[in-house]
Structure 1
Amino acid sequence: MSEPAIIKESPDVPLEISVGAIPEDDRVWVPQAPGVFFRPLLINTITGQWCNLLKVTRSGIVSRHRHPGIVVGYVIKGQWKYDEHEWTAHQGGFVYEPPGEIHTLRVPDDCSEMVTFFNITGAMIYVDEEGRQIGYEDALTKLDMCREHYANVGLGADYVDQFRR
């Protein structure tokens, strides 16, 4: 009978991530648009996946966009909806978004702050009312946004590296 094989960790395998999702330091929130911020939790530059918290501190339209991959979300605080659907995502609610669908994220007037966890596979493609592309985000552009913001607020551009895999 042979001895069981000893499995060693490969130096090529990135370490796990465990962080407090809601940061104590507000500088961790990266501004994305007026009243719209994200907090990175995972930015996978190999697979193109990223996980973050989206915080919106104003009502109204946040963005009109689509994704080539699936997106799942969990509402931590507040509420939001897509103009194209009848449902509203409330605190404690889970959302699944199929690939390719165009939707317009809106925070209602009676909501002063919304925080949602999103797990995004692939890109986020911003579109106008006719469905024409007007912007683009992916794991690499998110990484760049974080680097610039963290350098500007004194955390250091490399602060984001703890979330990169």
Structure 2
Amino acid sequence: MKPTPYVDHAALLTLNFHELPVFKDALPGVDAQPLFLDPHNGAWVLRAMFRPGTRLPTHYHTGDVHFFTLKGRWNYVEYPDQPQTAGSYLYEPGGSIHTFAVPEDAAEDAEGLMIVRGANMNFDDNGQYVGILDASWLMQMFDHLVKERGMEPARYITPPPVGYTA
């Protein structure tokens, strides 16, 4: 039997981040571009730019992460002797806990491409749970920013909606 595509599409699903708007201050100190958001499978892909001095909440990953550093430098507070610099690829297994930070004295933004499965469970400095960041939350955040700022809707790839077979 000759293989046939399960999903019929007339063109490749492709984006060029040079042609997409950047959501400035999507999070404090972070500019971001959504590239792929899949709330059904808990997967998300973002290009993000982190300004010098940015520190994200300590977070626990429920799934794995692939992080490609495109520009600048950053590190996890817990691993100060292992800075990530342009060209670095970092794999984080599910169950990892860490705190992302860009040094105050960084000469430029740190820029990265992250491929994430699952959620970030965020905690404050006292270890108290403060919230979740996952594909669904990101979709809502970008929708909110579009409305709040009068922007064009975010363009990213997402799988078709779930439903019943015919």
Q: Classify the TM-score, shorter chain.
A: 0.7 to 0.9
Q: How large is the RMSD of aligned CA atoms in angstroms?
A: 2.4
Q: Distance in 2 between matches of 1:50 and 1:6?
A: 29
Scaled by the length of structure 2, the TM-score of the pair is: 0.81
The residue number in structure 2 matching 1:20 is 16
Q: Percent identity?
A: 24
Contact 1:74–1:95 (Cα < 8 Å) also in 2: yes
Q: Distance in 2 between matches of 1:24 and 1:18?
A: 12
Scaled by the length of structure 1, the TM-score of the pair is: 0.82
Q: 1:67 to 1:22 in 2, by over 3 A?
A: farther
The residue number in structure 2 matching 1:42 is 36
Q: Distance in 1 between matches of 2:26 and 2:5?
A: 41
Matched, 1:147 2:143: yes
The residue number in structure 1 matching 2:91 is 96
Matched, 1:7 2:26: no
Q: Secondary structure at the match of 2:49?
A: strand
Q: Alignment partner for residue 27 of structure 2, among 22, 28, 33?
A: 33
1:36-115 superposed matches below 5 A: 36-85=30-79, 86-111=81-106, 112-115=108-111
CA shift at 1:18, angstroms?
Answer: 1.0
Q: State the Cα deviation string for residues 131-156 of structure 1 (Å, max 9, x = none).
A: 33111111111011111112333334
- Please, which runs of 5 or more residues in structure 2 have no aligned partner? 160-166
Q: Distance in 2 between matches of 1:65 and 1:118?
A: 15
Q: Distance in 1 between matches of 2:113 and 2:158?
A: 17
The residue number in structure 1 matching 2:164 is none
Contact 2:30–2:54 (Cα < 8 Å) also in 1: no
Q: Distance in 1 between matches of 2:6 and 2:26?
A: 37
Q: 1:5 to 1:60 in 2, by over 3 A?
A: closer
Q: Secondary structure at the match of 2:55?
A: strand
CA shift at 1:6, angstroms?
Answer: 6.5
How many pairs were matched up? 157
Q: Distance in 2 between matches of 1:127 and 1:57?
A: 21
Matched, 1:131 2:127: yes
Contact 2:42–2:134 (Cα < 8 Å) also in 1: yes
Q: State the Cα deviation string for residues 115-142 of structure 1 (Å, max 9, x = none).
A: 1100110001111234331111111110
Aligned residue type for 2:151:
L
